[in-house]
Amino acid sequence: MRFGAYQFKPTLVPTLAMVVMIALTLFLANWQLDRADQKRALQARYDLMQKDPAVTLPGKQADSTGLLYQKVALRGRFDFVHEIYIDNKLYRGRAGYYVITPFRDDNSGSYVLVNRGWLAAGSNRAIPPMAAQVPGQIRIEGIVTSPNSRYLELSAATVQGRVWENLHFKRYATTLPYAVQAVLIQQINDTQDGLVRVWDRPDAGAAMHMGYAVQWFAIATAILIIYLVLNVKRVPI
């Protein structure tokens, strides 16, 4: 194909490579856009659910999908014997733990897991953490979240006593002497235990996904430009 003094004459292999690479980068860009849209949708659901009054959990096994981000009110007692600590959680750049404690909810007659909040790690990580306990019957307000999350386990030693690398719900449930509902409650009210309760927004990271999408679109554009430059030749007159 000739355009004045220039000729466009691509060969088969570079053309196929260009098509594959652009298709891949466009796929990755659109995947990042979808991830950003999903997180914004979750935030919209969260904002909507927070306008509703707190409800009680059902007595039967709750569906975390249907109750996701619902504000709930619990009344009962914590089971501190089976409390665990999720390691490597950061707050304002400082390392610490999430404190996960089973809670016997008198309203529903069932046990649920409560993320009580963030506890700073001590200067000596060899000393096990110990969060302040709130004995007796108390009232808890919280937000329903899913106990299942994607994570990478860095080693086979994912559990060291009461310190866990991640919250693996099924694994944890097998250590309890009772059934526990498949939901995780993020506590939001203060129970004078000194824990920090500042939770990530559901749309956290949406801007990052948008940035990645822009980068993939830029790479696709660069591939196309390089392909054209390498395959357009000046024709001697």
Residue 81's nearest CA partner among 117, 122, 37, 135 is 135
Tell me which residue has tokens 């733990």: 97
Please work out, in degrees rounded to the nearest 5, the angle formed at the alpha carbon of residue 76 by the alpha carbons of 134 and 82: 60
Give me the pLDDT at residue 2, please.
57
- Give me the chain's average pLDDT, please: 86
- The residue extents of the domains of the chain are 2-40+206-234, 70-187
Residue 58's nearest CA partner among 137, 140, 136, 144 is 144
Q: What are residue 167's phi and psi, to 5 degrees? A: -90, 105
Region of poorest pLDDT, from 142-151, 156-165, 224-233: 156-165
Give me the pLDDT at residue 185, please.
93
Q: Residue 5 — pLDDT band, cuts 50, 70, 90?
A: low
Of residues 143 and 47, the one with the higher pLDDT is 143
Q: Residue 157 — pLDDT band, cuts 50, 70, 90?
A: low
Give me the pLDDT at residue 52, please.
81
Instruction: Give the Cα separation of 88 and 94 in Å (integer).
Output: 9
Dump pLDDT digits (tens) for 75-124: 999 999 999 999 999 999 899 999 999 999 998 889 999 999 999 998 88
pLDDT, average across residues 195-209: 88
What SS3 string covers 86-104? EEEEEECCEEEEEEEEEEE
pLDDT, average across residues 205-223: 94
Instruction: Give the Cα separation of 143 and 69 in Å (integer).
Output: 5
Residue 219's nearest CA partner among 14, 12, 21, 55 is 21
Dump pLDDT digits (tens) for 134-155: 989 999 999 998 887 654 455 5
Q: Residue 63 — pLDDT band, cuts 50, 70, 90?
A: low
Region of poorest pLDDT, from 22-31, 144-153, 164-173, 204-213: 144-153
pLDDT of residue 212 exceeding 70, the answer is yes
Dump pLDDT digits (tens) for 13-39: 889 999 999 999 999 999 999 999 988
Residue type, position 71, single letter = K
Q: Residue 57 — pLDDT band, cuts 50, 70, 90?
A: confident
Of residues 103 and 11, the one with the higher pLDDT is 103
Of residues 51 and 215, the one with the higher pLDDT is 215
